[in-house]
């Protein structure tokens, strides 16, 4: 796979991370205002997503590309902390599927290793959010 195509895939991953950061931070702020512990978990994982965005941006630049800062229209998932957590579970599942697809498609070993690291963290995030949803009472 040529560098241009890898950069395109990495920019798709970056867009997903940016969306997650914005959704998680907004929902964390609202949940914390309501004195809900879910806000702390959302905020903590948003910082992980920021680190992922940084790693992806670095890879894109190393490959001669430019990081895009686009994202889909934001869907925050509703009005309650349970709604917020349900939405971020959807985002994590989407990210996991996309990372798996991109890892399979990309033949650059350095890029694959970084994406595999991010994938493991996303899988951990999904577990954390599913546990949190259980605590909040589905």
pLDDT score at 138: 63
pLDDT score at 35: 65
We report the CATH number of the domain holding residue 63 as 1.20.1260.10
* CB distance 81 to 34 below 8 Å: yes
pLDDT score at 46: 95
Q: Which residue range forms the structural domain that includes residue 94? A: 3-136
CA dist., res. 102 & res. 84, Å (int): 27
Q: How many other C-beta atoms lie within 10 A of the C-beta of residue 51?
A: 12
In tens digits, what is the pLDDT along the chain, a chain of 138 residues? 899 999 999 999 999 999 999 999 999 988 877 767 788 889 999 999 999 999 999 999 999 999 998 888 999 998 888 999 999 999 999 999 999 999 999 999 999 999 999 999 999 999 999 999 998 886
pLDDT score at 19: 96
Dihedral sign (CA 116, 14, 20, 46): positive
Please state the domain count of the chain.
1
**Cα-atom radius of gyration of the chain, to the nearest Å?**
15
């Amino acid at each position: 796979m040529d560098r241009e195509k890898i950069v395109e895939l990495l920019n798709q991953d970056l867009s997903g991370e940016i969306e997650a950061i914005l959704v998680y931070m907004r929902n964390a702020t609202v949940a914390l205002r309501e004195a809900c512990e879910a806000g702390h978990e959302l905020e903590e994982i948003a910082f992980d997503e920021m680190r992922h965005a940084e790693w992806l941006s670095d890879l894109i630049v190393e490959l001669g590309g430019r990081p895009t800062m686009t994202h889909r229209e934001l869907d925050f998932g509703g009005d309650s902390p349970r709604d917020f957590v349900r939405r971020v579970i959807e985002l994590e599942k989407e990210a996991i599927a996309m990372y798996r697809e991109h890892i399979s498609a990309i033949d650059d070993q350095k890029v694959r290793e970084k994406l595999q690291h991010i994938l493991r963290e996303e899988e951990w995030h999904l577990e954390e959010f599913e546990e949190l949803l259980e605590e909040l009472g589905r």
